[in-house]
Amino acid sequence: MPLTKCKAESLDLTDNYTFTGDVTLASGGSLNLISTQTASSSASISFTTGIDSTYDEYLFIFNNIHPANDNVNFTFNLSTDSGSNYNVTKTTNYFNSYHTEADNDAGLQYQSANDLAQGTGFQQIQKEQGNDNDQSISGTLKLFNPSSSVFVKHFLIRVNGMQHNDYAQDTFVAGYGNTTSSIDAIQFKFSSGNIDDGTIQLFGVSQWVSSK
């Protein structure tokens, strides 16, 4: 929607600028907390309610996810039967940037060994995570339109974690659940051992809508 007043060469912030159409925020605000789960030596964290047709986008926030075991992968999978099975077919890509505490190695790389091509297994979110007292994972996962009966289910992940060998990793994962069935549950777990500590919050994301 165009602004009613704008100068190409400069923007005078003392003037008043207005939108030409009415814009309202969808009911409930931009971020709507649905649930929070806190790990305490938990084998996994599963969200089996709250993912439905209410929102077109869902946001999971990871806060200091700490494994019980050392050198393990943080993973997730999706379900179409309320969590009875976590085995949705997925195609994904995985890359990360990395840097050592010793400042002797750094880079950016695509890692095909960590992605899936029509695989039903758990997808890696962060690899080789350490379990030192100061090592954890934080970041986000976005899941789009999980209740669509027409389209596949896209997701975007970005997390930062600390590998067991003191590498900082900024990891990006993207892909889709290749199903037109509704996604109604998601599970997070490590490849081995429990989730020792940390929280995961589930939000519904309200969209800006225009009356025009």
pLDDT < 70 stretches in the chain: 1-29, 208-212
- Is residue 12 one of the residues assigned to a domain? no
- For residue range 109-118, list pLDDT tens digits in order: 999 999 999 9
Instruction: Output the CA torsion 117→121→125→127 (10° steps).
Output: -100
**How far is 119 from 106, CA to CA, in rounded Å?**
30
Q: Which residues in 118-128 are b (16+ Cβ under 10 Å) and which e? A: ebeebbbbbbb
CATH at 176: 2.60.120
- Is residue 3 one of the residues assigned to a domain? no
- Is residue 204 one of the residues assigned to a domain? yes
**How far is 59 from 61, CA to CA, in rounded Å?**
6
pLDDT reported for residue 22: 31
pLDDT reported for residue 21: 35
- For residue range 117-149, list pLDDT tens digits in order: 999 999 999 999 999 999 999 999 999 999 999
**How far is 62 from 39, CA to CA, in rounded Å?**
11
pLDDT reported for residue 20: 38
- Is residue 20 one of the residues assigned to a domain? no
Domain count for the chain: 1
Are the C-beta atoms of residues 57 and 141 closer than 8 Å to each other? no
Structural domain of 100: 28-210
